[in-house]
Amino acid sequence: MAAGDAIRSTRPGGRLGRVTAALVQWLPLGIVAVLWEALSRFLVGGDLLPPVSQVVVNATDLLLQGEVLGHLSVSLFRVAIGLSASIVGGVLLGIGMAQFRAVEDFFDVLLTMTYAVPKTALVPLAILWLGVGTGTAVLVIFLGTLVPIVVNTYNGASSVDEKLRWSAEMLGTSDRRRLRKVVLPATYPAIFTGVQQAIPFSFIVLISAEMVASRRGMGNLILSYGQLGNYDQMFAVIFLFSLVAFATVGVFNRLRSSVLAWE
Amino acid sequence: MDVETSLDAGTVDVDDLTMTFDSGDDGTTAIEDLSLDVESGEFVSIVGASGCGKSTLLYLIAGFLTPTEGTIRVDGDPVLGSGPDRGVVFQEYALFPWRTVLENVTYGLEEQGVPKDERREQAMRYIRMMGLEGAEDLYPKELSGGMKQRVALARTLVIDPKILLMDEPFGALDQPLRESLQDHLLDIWREVEKTVIFVTHQVEEAAYLSERVIVLGGSPGTVLDEIEVDIDRTKDRSDVVTADAYNETRRRIRDTMHAEADY
């Protein structure tokens, strides 16, 4: 269960309670919007910081023109591929480490060593290997999201309740089947947590990679508008991308509560 | 040697059992030179203060742990690991949280390769026996402690073990619920004719349920006393708890445990 759900469930129920809760949740965003608008209109000036109302209008125009959608789909495709690869690799690695001492010893050092390396620093190297384009973005997303998925999966798979394993054993589950019947289902929540942590990373790393190593995508679009001095449009793209990232996180949270209804 | 008339219940012979857990340089000995026999169809309680090794003894009989010295035989055959002939019920229930009540109860049948229709039919029989009709599709998190323990019992009974090993199964439940489940367990024991080894720290529970009480104590744990409880178990609770045999048993267990604690 996400932390937000846990907090919400302790609040008084009923329609009024839910409306109040929703208002409270969106309040900080509202305050930021008001401050932003005031700052831009009365202090900094629209050239440096376009007012939020203008950004929303521009973002809507961009959407209607449709060009941005091409860039967005390129970006989302890269995230989807990079993240999928990292989920597959991370889950295999995490469970492997939890199950086999040798795998754990081998990758433990490697992960600890690479943990603190900013994955965006690998962009130039990735360009060297894969050139400018999708390959580089995907590789950097993969590397940037692998660690949270491995670590969460490993922690989940290595802390499966002993009594659950014994229960399965006593009911006739062989050592070979235990992984599929007990360890994997018991680890699903940890895997989901890992992916939930990885999603924001994937968007951050994507933009960094696309700014340097791509001729398409949202990162490239942001940088292009910035270099042209077209800050209105640049802000609009950032705004749209934030919305998409926010929606992705929301969709994934929904997915978790429907797949892991038993949690 | 008439196979036809033999009960579907097993015997347990424990000989000179010693269990030492490795912890650093010198191990901790939980059980030393412990011997006991349990007859087919018998209801035996093992009672003792916490830390006397009673749960360890149960896990050794279950085959989850391997003894340091000594042997355990079930129906004359040495125990080499856990198996569906010995069903275990844990205090913590240890239900599979990702499976519904029905899926928890069918688990053991799945592992034995019983066809799906038959699995459901057999599981429903035990779900009804435990008074769980209507809760089949609930997940463990939606159940009360008492219901969870009924599911755990159904999950174990459905694989038709010869011996039921119960580790403080009602320890986490409050008094009225515990008493009702005790009576339910006695009804089931009469109906299914299994051997039951019931671990508890509760003197009243041991005296009320069992035909024989084994008092464990000391560090490392050994058998301090063995008491046959001669009560007509077809009578109601109110008759049993006023019977001399029940109260005499209670007094004797208590005296043995107190003498041990004072020492």
A27 plus A91 within the same structural domain:
no
Q: Does A114 map to a domain? A: yes
Q: Does A55 map to a domain? A: no
Task: Give the pLDDT of residue A223.
Answer: 94
Q: Across the interface, which of A171, A177, A260 has its CB nearest the CB of B108?
A: A171
Alpha helices in chain A (DSSP H): 3-10, 14-38, 52-65, 67-99, 101-115, 123-130, 134-158, 162-170, 175-178, 184-213, 218-227, 231-259
Cross-chain residue pair B141–A170, CB shorter than 8 Å: no
Task: Give the pLDDT of residue A180.
Answer: 94
A41 plus A81 within the same structural domain:
no
Task: Give the pLDDT of residue A121.
Answer: 86
**pLDDT tens readout for residues A190-247:** 999 999 999 999 999 999 999 998 899 999 999 999 999 888 899 999 999 999 999 9
A115 plus A168 within the same structural domain:
yes
Q: Kindly report the length of chain B.
A: 263
Q: Does A134 map to a domain? A: yes
| Mean per-residue pLDDT of chain B | 91
Q: Which residue of B has its CA nearest to A189?
A: B98
**pLDDT tens readout for residues B68-117:** 999 999 999 999 999 999 999 999 999 999 999 999 999 999 999 999 99
A73 plus A42 within the same structural domain:
no
> Where is B197: in which H helix or E strand?
strand B195-200
Task: Give the pLDDT of residue A47.
Answer: 79
Beta-strand relationship, B86-89 and B163-167: parallel
Instruction: Domain count for chain A, please give it.
Output: 2
| pLDDT category of residue A13 using cuts at 50, 70 and 90 | low
Angle at A249 (CA atoms; ends A246, A250), nearest 5 degrees: 85
Task: Give the pLDDT of residue B250.
Answer: 92
Q: Does A198 map to a domain? A: yes
| Mean per-residue pLDDT of chain A | 90
Tokens of B66: 């391997």
Q: Does A54 map to a domain? A: no
A68 plus A43 within the same structural domain:
no
Q: Which residues of B touch A169 (CB under 8 A)?
A: 64, 81-82
Q: Does A139 map to a domain? A: yes
CA distance linking residue B182 with residue B202, whole number of Å: 12
A77 plus A39 within the same structural domain:
no
Among A232, A258, A219, residue whose Cα is nearest residue A55: A232
Alpha helices in chain B (DSSP H): 54-62, 101-111, 116-129, 145-157, 175-192, 203-209, 237-242, 244-262
Which phi and psi (to 5°) does residue A39 adopt? -55, -50
Domain containing A208 equals 60-259
Interface test with A, best of B21, B55, B59, B90 (most A CBs within 10 A): B90
A44 plus A67 within the same structural domain:
no
CA distance linking residue B162 with residue A176, whole number of Å: 25
Instruction: Count CB neighbours of B193 within 10 A.
Output: 13
Task: Give the pLDDT of residue A26.
Answer: 87
Cross-chain residue pair B98–A262, CB shorter than 8 Å: yes
CA distance linking residue A254 with residue A248, whole number of Å: 10
**Residue A66 burial (CB < 10 Å; 0-12/13-18/19+)?**
exposed
CATH number of the domain enclosing A120: 1.10.3720.10
CA distance linking residue B84 with residue B78, whole number of Å: 15
CA distance linking residue A71 with residue A219, whole number of Å: 9
Give the Å distances, CA to CA, from B112 to A29, A168, B79, B85, B168: 56, 12, 20, 12, 27
Q: Looking at per-residue confidence, does A114 or A247 come out higher?
A: A247
Angle at B29 (CA atoms; ends B68, A169), nearest 5 degrees: 55
A41 plus A168 within the same structural domain:
no
A174 plus A119 within the same structural domain:
yes
Q: Which residues of B touch A185 (CB under 8 A)?
A: 96, 98
A134 plus A251 within the same structural domain:
yes
| pLDDT category of residue A1 using cuts at 50, 70 and 90 | very low
Cross-chain residue pair A185–B96, CB shorter than 8 Å: yes
A106 plus A193 within the same structural domain:
yes
Q: Does A188 map to a domain? A: yes
Residue B20: alpha-carbon gap to chain centroid: 23
Task: Give the pLDDT of residue B51.
Answer: 82
Which phi and psi (to 5°) does residue A175 adopt? -55, -35
A142 plus A195 within the same structural domain:
yes
**pLDDT tens readout for residues A24-69:** 888 988 999 999 999 988 888 777 888 989 999 999 999 999 889 9
Which of the residues in chain B have pLDDT under 70? 1-7, 23-25, 262-263
